[in-house]
Amino acid sequence: MTSYTTMNPWRLMDDFLGFDWPLSRAFGSLAGMGARYPRVNVWDGPKGWVFEAEIPGVDPAKLDVHIEGRELSIKGSRERSDGGELAFERRFELPQAVATEAIQAKFANGVLTVTLPRHPAAEFRKVAIELA
Amino acid sequence: MKTDVVKREDVHVEQRERRVEIVPNTAVRQEKDGFLLVAEVPGVDDKSLHVTVENNILSIDAANTVAEPEGYTLALREISPVTYKARFELPDRVDTSGVKASLKNGLLRVRLPISEAKKPKRIAVAAE
């Protein structure tokens, strides 16, 4: 069990009334700061890949999911706590070809889920041998 | 920009991961009629979110849901099952009966109105 203290940001706010005081300064940036953003889980399965990316607060209309060859890119922008815009982008190289026309993306609870089926040509197939 | 290469052998995950408690990224700002507290809780739906106010302490308790598609193997792991937990001491001037919370796109917004009695009042100065 993690112990956690009770925070009182207002004590500071009283001193700097009218300013934004992001608590995030004490607990890491609201945007994940420098580290890879957004954070993802990638699943690899018999039918292809599933990407999950945590992008809380983003307007889904400002999300751009793009596939070029075997490279998937997720980019967009979101509002920062100070009202500014934060642009982000991540790229991933997939081990095999993707059936690009069958890619699906959905956004729920601040999580983007992209499902990328493997291209049929990249699936393992038993090759029938013709008898001469 | 660096491209992350997806490879199946990248990740060795224990089957049953312990759900850890973390403090959500949070920002507080002052608005016209009170304060607005915004906490990032991606992967949390309204059923697994609990926001309470008791004795001037605002508590947030929320568990995220991480997809685990059947038959799939993890190739890259950056998101874990977590419980977002935070407690905030509210100033006396917050009207705790009027606290409202909403959840949208992974952001929890808690509106903390300042009680009418504690709002600044202009004192009329009588001219003599």
Per-residue pLDDT at A1 exceeds 70:
no
Whether residues A23 and B74 touch (CB distance < 8 A) is answered with no
Q: What is the pLDDT of residue A20?
A: 38
User: Which chain B residue's Cα is nearest to A89?
Assistant: B1
CATH 2.60.120.10 fits B13-67+74-115, yes or no: no
Per-residue pLDDT at A12 exceeds 50:
no
For chain B, how many helices (H) and strands (E)?
Answer: 0, 10
Q: What is the pLDDT of residue A33?
A: 44
Instruction: Provide the shortest C-alpha distance from residue A70 to chain B (in Å).
Output: 10
Candidates A75, A102, A71, A103; CA nearest to A88 is A75
Task: Give the Cα separation of B91 and B56 in Å (integer).
Answer: 7
Q: Which residues of chain B have pLDDT under 70?
A: 8-17
Q: Are B58 and B87 in contact (CB under 8 A)?
A: yes
Question: Which helix (DSSP H) or strand (DSSP E) does residue B30 occupy?
Answer: strand B26-31
Instruction: Provide the shortest C-alpha distance from residue A58 to chain B (in Å).
Output: 7
Per-residue pLDDT tens digits for A40-75: 999 999 899 999 999 999 999 999 999 998 899 999
Question: Which helix (DSSP H) or strand (DSSP E) does residue A88 occupy?
Answer: strand A85-93
Q: What is the pLDDT of residue A19?
A: 36
